[in-house]
Amino acid sequence: MTDRYQQFSTSGVGRLLVRRLGLPDPTPLRRYRPGAPALDGPALVGGAPGGRLLDHLGTVLKSAGIEVAATADGVRPGALVFDATGVTTVERLRELYNFFHPVIRGLGTCGRVVVLGTPPERITDPGERIAQRALEGFVRSVGKELVRGATAQLVQVAPGAEEKVESTLRFLLSGKSAYVDAQVIRIGALGGTATEPEDWAAPLAGKVALVTGASRGIGAAIADVLARDGAHVVALDIPAQGADLAQVANRVGGSTLQLDITAADAPARLVEHLRARHGGVDVVVHNAGITRDKKLANMKEAAWDAVLSVNLAAQLRVNDALLADGTLRAGGRIIGVSSIAGIAGNTGQTNYGTSKAGVIGMVDALAPVLAERGITINAVAPGFIETKMTAAVPLVIREAGRRMNSLSQGGLPVDVAETIAWYANPASGAVNGNVVRVCGQSLLGA
């Protein structure tokens, strides 16, 4: 759907008015295009003394085709990457200021700030733990100060997981993370192995990915992106969506499965289908979701039950069935689709907010258990995404949802899909137990 305000604000007269009146200024975001450079401009890399990651960063960036600049002199950096694992005391937080202060203004359009630290709960020394926890406030504040579509993230790398950061850095520095802003990502906190794909442009080659609710909206975009990355996509939706579902499956060279995931026999039918046709499945994306909004006092039981059933209970039954007999293969991925309504809550959405917070609970509860089997579970929590669902929201609420974030615009379905594809990558085996918001640093639940 079209963001008319963004079109206006980037026109000649619009630009002038936006500047004069201090109106929101949504920069068209840099998104991934095959073959395009990973970054517009070199990365400026620094680190606090004694850090664990600095040496490794050069190798990773080189492998990703990103040039590293030695100084900011005469260049407009596309990214500022800082290894803060050496920040072991509160005094050493000054290293952040020393690195970023002189160069932050020069960061390019849709540039990236990435700070790397240590998961605080892995640290026993209180001073170091406090200093590492403090990094989060720095990144979230920088995210709010950055302009022209630039974003900031904190990546917490567990000791021992230094060599497992590549898929995450590639994702965060590229246009694939366009609408992910001010997030904290954990790598290696639950172990996990990172298998480098033979071809980074097709990391899912040979994999089978199930996408529920794939006939339209975000689900269709997930099917597109996972197929682009080489997966065979099994596109699932309810029979009433059969025609649209077939179109998506044809477009991505995948196959269809018409199934209501809430049906009592759905898990068994799913297992049977995946085993018979594909010998199993590697990536499961629980995208199917519904809303039945009403304030709690006016909500019918059926509206409560339907939302909890599609958005949460059915997903747990499907997981159980896929895990019981190894239909979800070793190295498998389960990916949930939560919502910022599951984090911040929302008027008229007690049912939806409960179900989407439950998806976060599913990630928390299952991640340590599945880690032992070499399977990861993560979720995305989208904010305002431009879909038919959000097009139906009344204008004033829609405009508020769109602008109340650091990027002053809504995200696109592809932004959610790219985040899911990063989780699905074989090189993301140490990315487990994360809930990453795809919300442009929305003010809701921040």
Site residues for ligand NAD per CB under 6 A:
212-213, 215-219, 237-238, 241, 260-262, 287-290, 310, 337, 339, 382, 384-385, 387-390
* Closest distance to ligand NAD from the beta carbon of 125 (Å): 39
Write a three-state SS string for the chain: CCCHHHHHHCCHHHHHHHHHHCCCCCCCCCCCCCCCCCCCCCEEEEECCCCCCHHHHHHHHHHCCCCEECCCCCCCCCEEEEECCCCCCCHHHHHHHHHHCCCHHHCCCCCEEEEEECCHHHCCCHHHHHHHHHHHHHHHHHHHHCCCCCEEEEEEECCCCHHHCHHHHHHHHCHHHCCCCCEEEEECCCCCCCCCCCCCCCCCCCCEEEEECCCCHHHHHHHHHHHHCCCEEEEEECHHHHHHHHHHHHHHCCEEEECCCCCCCHHHHHHHHHHHHHCCEEEEEECCCCCCCCCHHHCCHHHHHHHHHHHHHHHHHHHHHHHHCCCEEEEEEEEEECCCHHHHCCCCCHHHHHHHHHHHHHHHHHHHHHHCCCCEEEEEEECCECCHHHHCCCHHHHHHHHHCECCCCCECHHHHHHHHHHHHCHHHCCCCCCEEEECCCECCCC
* Closest distance to ligand NAD from the beta carbon of 430 (Å): 26
Active site residues: 352
Nearer to ligand NAD by Cβ, of 156 and 287: the residue is 287
* Closest distance to ligand NAD from the beta carbon of 147 (Å): 24
Nearer to ligand NAD by Cβ, of 143 and 289: the residue is 289
Nearer to ligand NAD by Cβ, of 262 and 425: the residue is 262
* Closest distance to ligand NAD from the beta carbon of 226 (Å): 15
* Closest distance to ligand NAD from the beta carbon of 216 (Å): 5
**Torsion sign (Cα): 240, 351, 225, 431:** negative
Nearer to ligand NAD by Cβ, of 241 and 327: the residue is 241
Nearer to ligand NAD by Cβ, of 72 and 316: the residue is 316
* Closest distance to ligand NAD from the beta carbon of 142 (Å): 25
Nearer to ligand NAD by Cβ, of 78 and 411: the residue is 411
Nearer to ligand NAD by Cβ, of 43 and 222: the residue is 222
* Closest distance to ligand NAD from the beta carbon of 339 (Å): 4
